[in-house]
Amino acid sequence: MLVLIESLSDQEIIERAKAYDHAVLQHLYEAYSPALFRYIYYRIGDRETAEDIRADVFIKMLEGLGSFNYQGWSIASWLYRIAHDRVVDHLRRQGRRKQETLVDTVVDPADGPDQQSLASLDHAELYAALQQLTDEQAEVIILRFLQDRSIRDVAQITGRSEGAIKALQHRALNALGRLLRPVGD
């Protein structure tokens, strides 16, 4: 009997992944890899490093499956949490953020309209503005608006309360508004 993976609950997907079900593992990679890459890329700013960290996220997922206890978190939240930890590790090792510009778009034509609308933005300008925010503010903006994650998901990913995420989002949007406002306004 063929069961569509999309029809399975997160808990069922985790149980099958723990059994190293190839179809489920492939589904997880195909479903989350592009969005995780964009998240990491916006945080790091380097394509090769983002690809390496994305690969590391899936390695860490495989290594952690045996000890993973489902507690109601979405699979996406778990993967983003792993990505968050890998990005933080990378930034600590690096000592400071790279100040590179994005040279090509990170929007996939297969993405939804919100992500496609990013194609009209000047990615270098957006990336430069994100770099002027605190790490926490930039992460909230990337997760909430570039990755379309809920307040709850962002709180789970970052290990903060929903109230803290709302406050960070508010401060970050105000700061971005000042940074991206045309001169003379």
Has residue 128 been placed in a domain?
yes
Please identify every stretch of the chain with a pLDDT value under 70, giving residue numbers as ranges: 1-3, 96-123, 182-185
Has residue 2 been placed in a domain?
no
Q: Is the pTM of this model over 0.75?
A: no
Has residue 1 been placed in a domain?
no
Phi, psi of 109 (to 5 degrees): -60, -20
pLDDT of residue 122: 60
pLDDT of residue 71: 81
Q: Which residues, other chains included, contact 164 with Cβ-Cβ below 8 Å and sequence gap of 6+?
A: 155
Has residue 150 been placed in a domain?
yes
Domain hosting residue 135, numbered range: 9-180
pLDDT of residue 62: 93
Has residue 59 been placed in a domain?
yes
pLDDT of residue 96: 53
Has residue 185 been placed in a domain?
no
The structural domain count of the chain equals 1
Q: What are the CA-CA distances from residue 94 to residues 84, 85, 91 (Å)?
A: 15, 14, 5
pLDDT of residue 184: 56
Has residue 80 been placed in a domain?
yes
Taking only the tens place, the pLDDT of each residue in 101-121 is 343 444 444 455 444 444 445
Has residue 4 been placed in a domain?
no
pLDDT of residue 126: 79
Taking only the tens place, the pLDDT of each residue in 121-144 is 566 777 788 888 998 999 999 999
